[in-house]
Structure 1
Amino acid sequence: MNMDWKLLSSEYLFKDDWLTARKDKCITPQGTIVEPYYVLEYNDWVNAVALTEDGQVIMIRQYRQGIGQTLLEIPGGTMDATDPSPEFAMERELLEETGYEFKELISLGKVAANTASSNNYTHMFLATGGRKVKAQQLDHNEEIEVVLMSVPEVQQLILDNKIVHSLHVTGLCYALMHMGRMEMK
């Protein structure tokens, strides 16, 4: 059974570097007109569970205006239009946010944050063999504290619901499964 909608028209309501909003008019296979349907357009995002050479997880602490809290997260960010691939963007973000370079970057797949109203994906990675090579190079609006933790400490944070960014929890779970360390107690 075909359930795909057909796009009849689309109008941009707002365009900026960090947010683009459009209003679509669609028709369902049964002939129902859906109007307006709002979609937010974003560049794809990347995040990584990053491990140092000695197996510590590199977490970051930063303020998040959307929910008005300082959070513990994994490194990540927005893909720039000039990034040739998600891997390139992830390596760039890791170096900028943490100052670490990694021996290996393993793709863990991609997920969508909100398929109902956003058009982008988050590409998830496991970065291993991290070595500090330089100071952080943060954007003008970033203040990031690097926090090294053991894998069991991070697992406990997940179990205690202390990491609230859903895309970061998802990346952590995929990485822990990949490493054979997914332990739900």
Structure 2
Amino acid sequence: MSKQLPDDPQPWQTLESEYLHRETWLTIRRDKVKLSNGRTIDDYYVQEFPEWINVLAITKERKAVLIRQYRHGLGSVDYELPAGVCEPDESPLEAAQRELLEETGYSGGAWSPLMTLSPNPALQNNLSYSFLAEGVTLSASQHLDPTEEITVHEVPLDDLRNLIFEGEIIQALHAAPVLKYLMQQSIP
């Protein structure tokens, strides 16, 4: 989180909280909150999610390991980073390593945090952790969930920028770490 400045607005006080729906992929809470200026909001809705992860995996041959899968919300298939959710008993890094192996069959390499983002700080309670894995190798076959249909693609690093600029990587939480990486590497 960013550092607090002296003139920042103060956090809201939660007066009441009620769950309206609780399912694995859809948990909605309604809060009654009091703002620092004394006003109240009777119905403020928050979506609760587990922590999310994604991985920018780079092979020893300097290619990015990307996936493509159908996303029903938009009704399209686009390039994405391997990604998923943290299980209750695992750290974001452990989840990232597990998801990379399950979705792509790639593993190993040197791992480091790349960035942490909030998917939507106004309405969601979770964070998305992005990791960089350099020097990964294909070590197994995919182990997909029954509802996953994923294809794996090795993309030369020089093509990553174009994929974003051409709208081929449309997922914002995936585009941001790719762009950060490209900026750090000075890859045009």
Taking structure 2 as the reference length, what is the TM-score of the superposition?
A: 0.93
2:185 to 168, 179, 182: 179
Extract structure 1 runs of 4+ deviating beyond 3 A: none
| Ranges in structure 1 where 5+ consecutive residues have no aligned partner | none
What is the match of residue 117 of structure 2?
111
- Alpha-carbon distance in structure 2 between the residues aligned to 1:108 and 1:174: 8
2:46 to 39, 52, 65: 39
Q: After TM superposition, list the pairs within 5 Å mapping 1:39-78 onto structure 2.
A: 39-78=46-85
The answer to whether structure 1 residue 11 and structure 2 residue 18 are counterparts is yes
Identity over the aligned pairs, expressed in percent? 36
Give the paired residue count: 181
Contact 2:54 2:82 in 1 (8 A): yes
Taking structure 1 as the reference length, what is the TM-score of the superposition?
A: 0.94
1:109 Cα shift?
2.3
1:162 Cα shift?
2.1
| Ranges in structure 2 where 5+ consecutive residues have no aligned partner | 1-6
| Residue identity matched to 1:14 | H
- Alpha-carbon distance in structure 1 between the residues aligned to 2:87 and 2:78: 24
- Alpha-carbon distance in structure 1 between the residues aligned to 2:181 and 2:96: 15
Contact 2:115 2:177 in 1 (8 A): no
Alignment partner of 2:24: what SS? coil
1:180 Cα shift?
3.3
- Alpha-carbon distance in structure 2 between the residues aligned to 1:124 and 1:132: 20
What's the RMSD between the two structures over aligned residues? 1.1
